[in-house]
Every structure is written in structure tokens, then in C-alpha cells.
Chain A
Amino acid sequence: MYKIGVRIMPRAEVLDTQGRAVGMTLKSKGFQVMDCKVGKFVILQIEGESPAHARAQATKISEDLLCNTLIETFQIEELP
């Protein structure tokens, strides 16, 4: 069993509406924030033969469902 984290963020060139709204509020509260981006973090528990296999599974899952690659990017990491 492997624990895989999937970090999903809006693509750099795509407008992050949520990040903009949170950033605006932080600034109006007086925090010195230059930019703010909001994404998602998904933790998957995967049965797999090897870490590489589990990561491959997670990549497939991310491309298939978790992430809309037109507007989002994702990064896979193995969690302890």
C-alpha cells in the first residue's frame, strides 16, 4: 500500500479566480501578499507492486479524473 499525494494547481497562464479573491481579502486586511494561488491536495491510498507502479496509477487517475489538464496542472509525490 502506498500513500500518494496529488497537488493540483491552476495552470500558470490560466486566471485563478479563487486565488485572486483570497489575495484581495488578505491585502485589505493589511497582509503583505504579492500573489496568492489556491489549488487542491488529494491523498490516494493505492495498492501497487512498487512505488513507481503506484505513482503511475496516481498519474493515470489524475489525468483521468482529478485534474482538468486544460486548466490545471498536477504534481505527484509519495507520502510517508
Chain B
Amino acid sequence: MSDKIGVLRFPGTNCDWDIYKAVEWSGAKPTFLWHQDTFNVEDYDGFVVPGGFSYGDYLRSGALAAHAPAMNSLRTAAEKGYPIFGVCNGFQILCEAGLLPGALLRNAGLRFIDQMIEIETQNSHKRFGLKLKKNQKSRMPIAHADGRYFVTDDELKKIQDNDQVYCTYVANPNGSAGNIAGVMNAQKNVVAMMPHPERAIYEWMGSSDGQLYFRN
């Protein structure tokens, strides 16, 4: 039986098909969910918020998207413990919507960075990265201008103590607090990361390390 995965689409989402194909590759069944529509959470086994520039990233990255009707349904799903995975702009949206701690600020170098990087797993996730082992290294690209993870020192300690850090950068490219590349909520069902595992599925992409983030 294959998982049904809802993939959210905002105007300006541009990694929607990339995520769709990665979910399909993993053997699950993806369905697009339009930002203006609410949805019935019971129809799905999990959700992905893909990357892009929802609403052009105006005001703040992810800020306008966090107010879309579909996000109300996603909040319900989060409360009910459904697995939710955000990538890149999806991470920003989940932070703006209050489903994940912290915020994402302009990169320390102030410029957009597209680069192959290495990340290290800190904690696995029950659906998106079940087979990831602690300290396991993965290669995949980052592509963002607003990827500097920010939390207060107290909050950072709380996140670390509660094993909410999902993955960290081996060499911090953007000035993120605690080298954090990905983080989970306290209940560990909502998870998101700035690097793009869906761009590292096949060897011809330069790396296939992203497979483990989609395969259950």
C-alpha cells in the first residue's frame, strides 16, 4: 500500500514538480493541493511544502504564503501528528506559519547561493528520513538567498536538548545558528530543511544522497 502525499502549491512555488517526481520515485502517491483550497487531512498520509518563491518572496520569504487557506488545513494536520516535510521555501513558510521554531534570514554573505554542500544527520524523522543514521553525511545542493536559520540562544539550546535538530551543515554556508540546515517541531512530526534532497535523486544530478529523505 503506497502512502498518499499531499504536495502544496502556492503561486510562485517552483519546485512543485521536482518534489512530485521525487515522491513518486519513492513509491508514494503524490497529489497537488492548491493554496486557495482547504483540504481534508484524513485523505492523506503526509504532506510536503516544496521550495520556490511563493508570492515572489515579497515582504518576507514565506510570509504571504503562511496566510493561505490551505495552510489552515495544514495546521490541523500538524496538530493531529501527520508527517509534514518542508524544503527550502517550504521551510520558510512553515516557520512563518509558526509550525516550526525560528526564522530564516538573508544569508550572511547577503547573496543567493547555489552550491553542492554536505550535511550531517542529527536525528531521523518518522516518515521523511526514517533510515537516516546519526552523523550520516549527505551531498546535495542548496539554492537560496534567505537560508540563515535564526533562533534565540535559549531557543537553540531547547531545540538541541530536545533532539529537534534534523541536520546540520558540515561547512556553514550562510551563517545559520548552530549550523542548522534542518529542524523539527517539538512533536517531531513537522520537519524542514534548506538543502534540496529532491535535486539529488539520480547519479546524473551529481549525487543520489537525497533518496533517503523520501524513501520510507
Q: Is A68 an interface residue (CB 8 A)?
A: no
Tell me which of A22, A25, A29, A38 has the highest count of chain B C-beta atoms within 10 A of its own C-beta.
A25
Per-position 1/0 for B54-83, Cβ under 8 A of A: 011011000010010000000000000000
Which residues of chain B have C-beta atoms less than 8 A from A38's C-beta? 58-59
Q: Number of B residues contacting the other chain (C-beta, 8 Å)? A: 7
Nearest chain A residue, comparing its CB with the CB of B57:
A21
CB distance B56 to A25 under 8 Å? Answer: no
Q: Please indicate the chain A residues that have their CB under 8 angstroms from the CB of B56 in the complex.
A: 17-18, 21
Give A27 to B79 CA distance when docked, in angstroms.
28
Q: Mark B25-36, 1 if CB is under 8 A from A, else 0.
A: 000000000001
Contact A21 B55 (CB under 8 A): yes
Residues of A within 8 A of B59 (CB): 18, 21-22, 38
CA distance A28 to B64 in the complex (A): 11
Asked if A18 and B58 sit within 8 Å, CB to CB, the answer is yes
Chain B minimum-CB-distance residue to A28: B36
Chain A interface residue count, Cβ-Cβ cutoff 8 angstroms: 9
- Provide the A11-35 mask, 1 if CB < 8 A to any CB of B, else 0: 0000001100110110011000000
Residues of A within 8 A of B67 (CB): 25, 29
The docked-state distance in angstroms from the alpha carbon of A17 to that of B67 is 19
User: Interface readout for A39-76 with B: 1 if CB under 8 Å, 0 if not?
Assistant: 00000000000000000000000000000000000000
**Chain B residues within CB distance 8 Å of chain A:** 36, 55-56, 58-59, 64, 67
Supplied contacts A21-B58, A22-B58, A25-B64, 12 more A-B pairs, CB within 8 Å: A17-B56, A18-B56, A18-B58, A21-B55, A21-B56, A21-B59, A21-B64, A22-B59, A22-B64, A24-B55, A25-B67, A29-B67
Could you list 21 A-B pairs, sorted by A, with CB under 8 Å?
A17-B56, A17-B58, A18-B56, A18-B58, A18-B59, A21-B55, A21-B56, A21-B58, A21-B59, A21-B64, A22-B58, A22-B59, A22-B64, A24-B55, A25-B55, A25-B64, A25-B67, A28-B36, A29-B67, A38-B58, A38-B59
